[in-house]
A and B are shown apart, each in its own frame.
Chain A
Amino acid sequence: MKFGVVVFPGSNCDIDCYHALRDVLDQDTEYIWHMTKHLGFYDCIVLPGGFSYGSYLRGGAIARFSPVMDRVVEFAQSGKPVIGISNGFQVLTEAGLLPGAFLRNNSMKFVCENVYIRTENASTPFTKLCGEGQVLKIPIAHGDGNYYVDDRTLKDMEQNNQVVFRYCDAEGEATAESNPNGSLQNIAGICNREGNVVGMMPHPERCMEEILGNRDGTVIFKSVINYLKGGAVND
C-alpha cells in the first residue's frame, strides 16, 4: 500500500502529512512533485495544506493548473481515495473535483485553534472507522475557510450525503458559536458524489501523537488504510 503526498510550490503541511503517514502509521509514503506528468503507482493521494503559490489570487487557484493535477483528476475518477486538507481542499474545489468555493473567514482574520467537528458521513474511505455523529477535536489554521456553495448544489449535496463534517461544539451541536469561519451550514468537510474524494479544512495530521496533546486525527488515516486493506471495520 502506497501513499503519495503532492508538493506544490508553497505547500507547507506536506512534511507533516508525510510524517503522519510514514512515521506515525508506518505506511509507505512518497512525495509527488507538482511537475510530475506520469504518476507512479499509488493507492491514495493526499493534497496537503499550506499556501500553494502563496495562495495569491485565491487559495488553490494556481496550483490546480500544475501538471500533476491532470493525473490527480484521472486518479480520482478511477475511484481511488483522494483527500485534500485545508489548502488541498481549496485545490480540489478549484479543480472541480469537489463543489463549492472559499471566502475569507467572516472574522477577516487567520484563525489557528482546535475545533470540534461532527462526522456526518461515516461511509467515505476516510471516515469508515468514525461513528455516525462522532465528534472529533481537530485543529484548523486558515484565513479563507469560509465554505460557500449555491443553494441548488447544496441541496444536491445533502441528498447525496456529501457533507462529511460540520463544525460543532464539544457536545456535537452545530451552533453558530462553534462555526469558526462563517462556513455555510457549518460545513467543515465534504466529499464528491462517489465519496472517494474528500476535502476538509481541519488538519488531522496535526493531532496524531500524544506529545501534541491530541490523537483524534488518527482515525481519518486509519480509516483509509483499513479501507485499502479491503477491510473489516476494526481499529
Chain B
Amino acid sequence: MTKKTYERVGLTSGEYDRIVEILGREPNELELNLYGVMWSEHCSYKNSKPVLRIFPTSGERVLQGPGENAGIIDIGDGLAVVMKIESHNHPSAVEPYQGAATGAGGIIRDIFTMGARPIALLNSLRFGELSNDRTKYLFENAVAGIGDYGNCIGIPTVGGEIYFNDCYRGNPLVNAMCVGIIRHGDIKRGTASGAGNAVMIVGASTGRDGIGGASFASVELSEESQENRSAVQVGDPFMEKLLLEACLELFETGCVVGVQDLGAAGLTSACSETASRGSSGMNIDVSLVPRRETGMIPVEVMISESQERMLVIVEKGREEEVTGVFKKWGLNSSVIGRVTDDGMLTIRDGDEVVGRVPAKSLAEDAPVYYREYEKPAYLQQVGVLDEESLEVPKDLNGVLVGLLKSPNIACKEWVYRQYDYMVRTCTAVAPGSDAAVVRIRGTNKAIALTTDCNSRYCYLDPATGGAIAVAEAARNLICSGAQPLAVTDCLNFGNPEKPGVFWQFRQAVSGMSEACRVLGTPVISGNVSFYNETDTNAIFPTPVVGMVGLVEDTSHITTQGFKEEGDAVLLLGENTQEAGGSEYLKVVHGLEQGSAPRLDLDKEKRVQDCCLELIRAGVVKSAHDCSEGGIAVALAECCISGGIGAEIEFESRCRKDFLLFGEGQSRIVITACQSDLERIKDTAARLDVPCTVLGRVKGKELVIDIAGQREMEIAVEDMGTSWREAIGCIMG
C-alpha cells in the first residue's frame, strides 16, 4: 500500500496506522475506501465532537437527542415533533440546482426514516452580494432547486432566512431543515439487531452518483472542484414521494426492526451505523444491489450516494411484506444480506468476500482531534468603531428606505412565491412574519418554526453571536405565540485545522450552549459543515439555529402586522445606543465593525416570558422582534404587513441614527387595545421587564418624533413598495 493511496481517500498516515492496528493487517483497497468516507469530517465529526459535547441535549420533552437521523421532542397528546437541519453547501457551490434539491431530499429522508410524516421545510441560505452575476446564478438556481423538490414531493416550504455578504461569494451556504410529526409509539430508529434478520435496500437503483461525495464535503474548494461535477447527485422528488408513502405504509405492518436512509457515504454508512447502534454485524452481497449503471465495482456500490434509497432491517421471514408494499408503489426492494452477531461488516461480491471490518470501527472509532485554537488577529481591528467619525445622516427617511431595500432586510417574496408553502393546508402563518406557524391536525395546537443566525455578529464576537442566534430564534417563536422547545443546529465554519477558525467554532458553540440552557431549548440534532473557504477567503462563522416552538392553543397565534387604528404601540425591553455589527453601518457607512450587540440572557428570558404571558392572556394584537435594521425597520415592517401607519414618539437622547437603526437585543414591539395598557404594564413590572408606550397605530404613514422633534414621516405604501420589490428588481 503506497502512501498516496490513503491520501487519495482523505486519510492521514496516523489514521492509516490506526486502521492497520484495528484490522491486524493492511486494509485492501475497498476497506480503505470505507474508512476514507466514514472517517471524513462529514461522517465522523472527528474535529468537532469534543466541542459539541458542551451542548445541553436533554430535557423532559426530549424523546431523541443527537446521534440518530433526527431529534424528537414531545408536544403532548401522544404526539412529537421530529426535526433536523443539514448543510448541502459544497454540492450547491458546484451545481446549485441539484445541490439544493438533494439537500432538501436528504433532510426529508432523515425525518421519515424516524417514522414521521414530514410536514414542513425551511431553508437557511447565504450567498455573496447580488451585484455579482455568478451569485445571482447560484441564488436563482438554489431557490429553484429547493422549490422544485419540495413542491413536487408536496411538503410546504414555510420559512427560513436569506442573507447576502461578500464572504459567501465562493462558499454559498445551503442549509435545509425538515420537521415531521409522529405518534410516540411509532418512532423508528436506525438500528440493526437480531441475527438472521433481513437487510433490504429499497427505492432507487444505484449508480455512480456522488462517488466521493462525503469526502468531497470535507475538503477546501479549489479551482479543480469546479469541474468535479460527477461528485454531485441528481434528485428525483417523484421517486422520493413514492419512497415516503411506501415507507410510512411499511412501518404500519410492524415488520421493520430498523431503518436508515442512504445519505453521505451511502451503503457504507447505513450498514455500519445501523449495525454499530445495534451492537451487531452485517453480512451483505453487493451483487444483489439493483444497479442503474453497468460495470460498477464493489467499492463504487458501497460508497455511491445515489439519492432516494433506504436501508430497511426486516424481521426474518417477513421480507415479502416489504416487497408487496414497495411493489404497490412501483419501487425496488431487494434483500442484500443478513444481520449477524459477530460485529463485523462483511461485504461479499457473490460468494467472494471482498471486505471485512468491524462495523463499530467505521461508525464510531474515527480518531477524535483536539484541534489547536487561538483568538484570530482580525478581531483586534474589526472590534474598533470610531463612532465620532460617523456623521449622523440628515435624511433619515432615506436611510430607512435604503435599509428596507437592502436584500438582507427586503421582503423575500421573490423567493417564497416559488415555494408551495400552502400544500397540506396547515400553514396558519405563511412566510414573511417572525416565524412560520403550522397547525397540528386533530388538535387545537400548532408549531412555530424558524431558522436564525446573524453571522456578522458571529464574525465580530462568535460567542455573543452564537448566543444571539439562539435568543433571536426563541424570540421569533415567542412573537408568534409559541413556547420555544428545542434546537437543531447547522454549524458552518471555515477550515478547523486553522487555530483561528477553531477558536471561532468553540466560542460560537459555547455561546449557543449557554443561551440554550437559559432559554430551556436543548439541542436535539444537528450538523457541522467545515472547510467553507476558498483559496482567498473564509466565511463568517455561521452557526444556524433551527428552532421549533409549541403554540398551545391556535387562538394564541400572533403575527407582526399592526391590526387596528388606535391600538397602542409598546416596546418590551429597552432601546440602546449600540451600532456595532448593524446592517445600518454596513449599508450607510460601508463598515462591518464594532462590538456585536450585548446580550443579557436573563433579561432576554424575562422579555420573552413576558411577551408570551401577554399573548396567552389575549391582550397582544401584534408582536415583532427588533433585529436587522433596528426598531425603525421593525416598526416599518409592522406597518407594511398590516397596511396601516403609526405615530411614534421616542423620549431617548441617544444618537438618532443609533437609536433608530441600532440592533440592541431583547426588544419586542407589540400592539394592544388602549384598554389593556394597565394590565400589560402591571405584568411587565411584575416580571421586571421595561415596558414603554411608543405611540399608536394610525393613518397611512409611519411618523417618528424624537424628543419632540419630527424626524421621520413616510408613507406606508412607499415603504412597502421599496421593501417588496427590491429583490425582484435586482433579479430582473
Contact = CB atoms under 8 A, between A and B. Distances in A.
Contacts of A109: 144, 418
B329 interface: yes
Contact of B418 (A12, A51, A111): A111
A110 B147 CA distance: 8
A206 B238 contact: no
Interface residues of B, number: 31
A19 B441 contact: yes
Interface in A23-80: 49-51, 53-56
Nearest to A212: B425
A13 interface: yes
A205 B153 CA distance: 18
A159 to B, nearest CB: 35
Contact of A112 (B238, B422, B424): B422
B423 A141 contact: yes
Interface string B376-396: 000000000000000000000
A62 to B, nearest CB: 10
A208 B426 CA distance: 11
B148 A206 contact: no
Nearest to B416: A112
B49 to A, nearest CB: 39
Contacts of B365: none
A211 B152 CA distance: 25
Interface string B119-162: 00000000000000000000000001001100111100000000
A131 interface: no
A146 to B, nearest CB: 16
A13 B426 CA distance: 12
B417 A111 contact: yes
A141 B238 contact: no
B152 A51 contact: yes
A139 interface: yes
A15 B557 CA distance: 24
Nearest to B140: A109
Nearest to B143: A109
Given A9-B242, A19-B441, A51-B154, A112 B237 contact: no
Contacts of A50: 154
A203 B418 CA distance: 16
Contacts, number: 84
Interface in A194-235: 203, 205-206, 208-209, 211-213
A211 B238 contact: no
Given A13-B154, A141-B151, A110 B238 contact: no
B716 to A, nearest CB: 18
A50 B422 CA distance: 12
B609 interface: no
A16 interface: yes
Given A12-B154, A16-B425, A110 B236 contact: no
Contacts of A203: 422
A12 B118 CA distance: 13
Interface in A115-167: 139, 141, 143
B151 A20 contact: no
A209 B425 CA distance: 9
Contact of A212 (B237, B239, B427): B427
B618 interface: no
Contacts of A96: none
A211 B444 CA distance: 11
Most buried by A among B238, B241, B420: B420
Interface string B314-357: 00000000000000011000000000000000000000000000
A112 B428 contact: no
A112 B329 contact: no
A22 B355 CA distance: 55
Contact of A10 (B144, B242, B441): B242
Given A10-B152, A110-B418, A19 B425 contact: yes
B457 interface: no
A166 B236 CA distance: 34
Interface in A1-21: 9-10, 12-13, 15-16, 19-20
B439 interface: yes
A53 B152 CA distance: 10
A53 B236 CA distance: 11
B241 A51 contact: yes
Nearest to B431: A112
B554 interface: yes
A113 interface: yes
A139 B419 CA distance: 13
B425 A112 contact: no
B650 interface: no
Contacts of B239: 54
A55 B154 contact: no
A54 B418 contact: no
Given A10-B152, A54-B236, A211-B554, A206 B418 contact: no
A211 B417 contact: no
A110 B418 CA distance: 5
A9 B330 contact: yes
A111 B728 CA distance: 14
Given A16-B425, A51-B152, A54-B152, A10 B418 contact: no
A51 B237 contact: yes
B265 to A, nearest CB: 27
A12 B237 contact: no
B421 interface: yes
Interface string B602-628: 000000000000000000000000000
Given A53-B238, A211-B554, A16 B152 contact: no
B153 A12 contact: yes
Contacts of B417: 111-113
A112 B425 CA distance: 13
B227 to A, nearest CB: 28
Interface in B412-462: 416-425, 427-428, 439, 441
A110 B420 contact: yes
Interface of B: 144, 147-148, 151-154, 236-239, 241-242, 329-330, 416-425, 427-428, 439, 441, 554, 557
Q: Which 10 A-B pairs have CB atoms at the shortest separation, nearest pair first?
A: A12-B154, A54-B238, A51-B152, A141-B420, A16-B425, A112-B420, A110-B418, A113-B417, A206-B422, A211-B428
14 contacts: A9-B238, A9-B241, A9-B329, A10-B242, A12-B241, A20-B425, A51-B238, A54-B152, A110-B147, A110-B420, A111-B418, A141-B423, A208-B425, A212-B427
Given A10-B152, A112-B416, 6 more contacts: A9-B330, A12-B152, A13-B154, A203-B422, A211-B428, A212-B425
